[in-house]
């Protein structure tokens, strides 16, 4: 190993922004869980549980969720177009998946799925996505506004890179937030300006809080450049009311902020009294056009009912920017040439799924609704279970894939945590892991009101595992409280 004292690349000499950034979703607790998992493999009875259950990350297919058949049929045909020339293919594939694959392939120059595409993504696929957006919102969308990316995350990085010139540039972010935002702001050398969601009112977003934080930042010499809104929320799961969204749009317009709308959970809504409205739709319905509001809307193929995390597909729809700014966005995208083609194809399928009358429509709807209904049931079951625990309150998961309960930790536990040199909720999460094998992410990884403690748990384990998880969690929590009772 290179001797650290003199070697050119050491922890002492690497980019300090790399050292500064953090990402708890795959942080310390996960590394520990992996070590325990290896231990179980070599000695299955060495721990008080049989298996590690990863509830730290929104990764549905790793926990048994099945992909949508139609989507995978189209992808298989697109990956191996030679299949389309064989008569046997019509025995194994649905007729509409064959037709869709043919249509997609003919929109790709030379039908070459192995070629780098246009740096914004294949035009024909962007057309399909624009149509999907227009059908969803009732307002037109332009294929040239769409940038297909390897997941939504690279698009977030692109915008942070563009917006952040120095530490004096700030981005308003919700607390709690999905730590991609805090990490990318740190990596790109900017300042995170927090605005607190109100736990007492179901994680409500108050404009007065936005205003307060904005003014506070400005008084410290920070130029606030953008507002991040995650809707539905992660980790908090709330779905914004239309009125709220309108206020947010007005706020951004009046204060000259770019609105970065993370809408990757738009198809994960579990309550009947709330509906997803894209910020673009809201802005357009208020009469605001391109000249009024710079807006970046993010969507991903990783979530929803499709859960195709491993494919890395997503897009950002960029509206309200001058052409010279858009050229810069394009230029940065072009350095990486293009996003993976399979992910691009999936994004077009997600935004343009089978329709009534298509051969696969019924089975598609059955698969989709099966997954969404099951997610809603699991959200409820876990929410109720968490709320039944002593000292634990858990807001409803109106959407997304997570529960974010607050745990009132006894003083003794907080002291024990201090001694162990861990944040109190990290201490709790670690104890939970060691007793039950369930991996959650401490609330400190997302940000929270100081003095409060949370953890984020996904609702993704398969339904048949939920009762066991609940009973183990309940037993652990009781014994933890008894151990540290004041």
Partner 1 sequence: MAKALDYESLNENVKKTAYAVRGELYLRASELQKEGKKIIFTNVGNPHALGQKPLTFPRQVVALCQAPFLLDDPNVGLLFPADAIARAKHYLQLTSGGLGAYSDSRGIPGVRKEVAEFIERRDGYPTDPELIFLTDGASKGVMQMLNAIIRNENDGILVPVPQYPLYSAAITLYGGSLVPYYLEEEANWSLDFNNIRQSIASARSKGITVRAMVIINPGNPTGQCLSEANIRELLRFCFLENLVLLADEVYQQNIYQDERPFISARKILFDMGPPLNKEVQLVSFHTVSKGYWGECGQRGGYFEMTNLSPKTVDEIYKVASISLSPNVPGQIFMGLMVNPPKPGDISYFKFEQESKAIMESLRKRAHIMTDGFNSCRNVVCNFTEGAMYSFPQIRLPARAIEAAKSAGKAPDVLYCLKLLEATGISTVPGSGFGQKEGVFHLRTTILPAEEDMPAIMESFKKFNDAFMEEYEDYRGYSRM
Q: Tell me the β-bridge partners of 269.
A: 399
- 89/285 with CB nearer partner 1: 89
| Spatial distance between the Cα atoms of 428 and 435, rounded to a whole number of angstroms | 11
Q: Which of positions 12-31 make contact with partner 1 (CB under 8 A)?
A: 13-16, 18-19, 21-23, 25-27
Helix (H, G, I), strand (E, B) or coil at 321: coil
Helix (H, G, I), strand (E, B) or coil at 349: helix
Q: Which of positions 322-381 make contact with partner 1 (CB under 8 A)?
A: 322, 324-325, 328, 331-332, 334-343
Provide, rounded to whole angstroms, the least separation between the CB of residue 7 and partner 1: 6
Q: Which of positions 422-461 make contact with partner 1 (CB under 8 A)?
A: none
Of the candidate residues 42, 82, 200, 243, the single one contacting partner 1 (CB under 8 A): 82
Q: Is 75 in the site for partner 1 (CB under 8 A)?
A: yes
Provide, rounded to whole angstroms, the least separation between the CB of residue 436 and partner 1: 20
Size of the site for partner 1 (CB under 8 A): 100
Tell me the backbone φ, ψ of residue 447, rounded to 5 degrees: 90, 140
- 170/343 with CB nearer partner 1: 343
Q: Is 113 in the site for partner 1 (CB under 8 A)?
A: yes
Q: Is 163 in the site for partner 1 (CB under 8 A)?
A: yes
Helix (H, G, I), strand (E, B) or coil at 303: coil
- Stretches 307-315, 361-369, 417-425, 466-474: which one binds partner 1 (CB under 8 A)? 307-315
- 110/450 with CB nearer partner 1: 110
Question: Where are the strands (E) in 176-247, listed by range?
Answer: 191-196, 223-230
Provide, rounded to whole angstroms, the least separation between the CB of residue 11 and partner 1: 4
Give me the sheet containing 223-230, strands edge to edge.
Answer: 146-149, 314-319, 295-300, 258-262, 223-230, 169-175, 191-196
157, two tokens: 């990085």
| Spatial distance between the Cα atoms of 49 and 33, rounded to a whole number of angstroms | 12
Q: Is 387 in the site for partner 1 (CB under 8 A)?
A: no
- 413/439 with CB nearer partner 1: 439
- 63/359 with CB nearer partner 1: 63
CA distances from 209 to 176, 380, 452 (A): 14, 30, 19
169, two tokens: 């540039």
Respond yes or no on whether the N-terminal peptide bond of residue 235 is cis (omega within 30° of 0): yes
Of the candidate residues 40, 47, 49, 67, the single one contacting partner 1 (CB under 8 A): 67
Q: Which of positions 200-229 make contact with partner 1 (CB under 8 A)?
A: 225-226
Helix (H, G, I), strand (E, B) or coil at 108: coil
Question: Where are the strands (E) in 201-289, listed by range?
Answer: 223-230, 258-262
- Stretches 161-169, 270-278, 375-383, 436-444: which one binds partner 1 (CB under 8 A)? 161-169
Q: Which of positions 252-271 make contact with partner 1 (CB under 8 A)?
A: 252, 254, 256-258
Q: Is 1 in the site for partner 1 (CB under 8 A)?
A: yes
Q: Which of 243, 352, 229 is nearest to 296 (CA)?
A: 229
């Amino acid at each position: 190993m290179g001797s650290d004292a003199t070697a050119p690349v050491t922890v002492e000499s690497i980019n300090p922004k790399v050292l500064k950034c953090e990402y708890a979703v795959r942080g310390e607790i996960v590394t520990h869980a992996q070590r325990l998992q290896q231990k179980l493999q070599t000695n299955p009875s060495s721990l008080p549980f049989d298996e590690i259950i990863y509830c730290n990350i929104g990764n549905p297919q790793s926990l048994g969720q099945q992909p949508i058949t139609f989507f995978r049929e189209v992808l298989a045909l697109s990956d191996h177009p030679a299949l389309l020339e064989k008569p046997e293919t019509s025995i194994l594939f649905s007729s509409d998946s064959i037709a869709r694959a043919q249509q997609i392939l003919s929109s790709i120059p030379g039908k070459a799925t192995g070629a780098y595409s246009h740096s914004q993504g294949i035009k024909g696929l962007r057309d399909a996505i624009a149509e999907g957006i227009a059908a969803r919102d009732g307002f037109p969308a332009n294929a040239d506004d769409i940038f297909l990316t390897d997941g939504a995350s690279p698009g977030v990085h692109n915008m942070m890179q563009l917006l952040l010139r120095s530490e004096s540039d700030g981005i308003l972010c919700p607390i709690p937030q999905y730590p991609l935002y805090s990490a990318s702001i740190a990596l790109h050398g900017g300042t995170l300006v927090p605005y607190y969601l109100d736990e007492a009112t179901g994680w409500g977003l108050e404009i007065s809080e936005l205003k307060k934080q904005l003014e506070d930042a400005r008084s410290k010499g920070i130029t606030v450049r953008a507002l991040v809104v995650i809707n539905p929320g992660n980790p908090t799961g709330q779905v914004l009311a239309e009125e709220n969204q309108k206020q947010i749009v007005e706020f951004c317009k009046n204060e000259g902020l770019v609105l970065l709308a993370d809408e990757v959970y738009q198809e994960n809504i579990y309550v009947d009294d709330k509906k997803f409205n894209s910020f673009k739709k809201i802005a357009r319905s208020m009469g605001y056009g391109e000249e009024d509001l710079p807006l970046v809307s993010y969507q991903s193929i990783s979530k929803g009912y499709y859960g195709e995390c491993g494919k890395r597909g997503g897009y950002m729809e960029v509206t309200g920017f001058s052409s010279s700014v858009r050229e810069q966005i394009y230029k940065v995208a072009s350095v990486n040439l293009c996003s993976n083609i399979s992910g691009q194809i999936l994004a077009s399928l997600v935004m343009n799924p089978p329709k009534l009358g298509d051969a696969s429509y019924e089975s598609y709807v059955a698969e989709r609704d099966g997954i969404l209904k099951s997610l809603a049931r699991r959200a409820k079951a876990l929410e109720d279970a968490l709320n039944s625990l002593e000292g634990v309150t858990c807001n409803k998961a109106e959407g997304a894939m997570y529960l974010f309960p607050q745990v009132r930790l006894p003083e003794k536990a907080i002291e024990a945590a201090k001694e162990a040199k861990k944040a109190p909720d990290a201490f709790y999460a670690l104890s939970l892991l060691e007793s039950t094998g369930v991996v959650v992410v401490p609330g400190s990884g997302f940000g929270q009101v100081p003095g409060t403690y949370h953890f984020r748990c996904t609702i993704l384990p398969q339904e048949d595992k939920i009762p066991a998880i609940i009973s183990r969690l309940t037993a652990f929590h009781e014994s933890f409280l008894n151990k540290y009772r004041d």
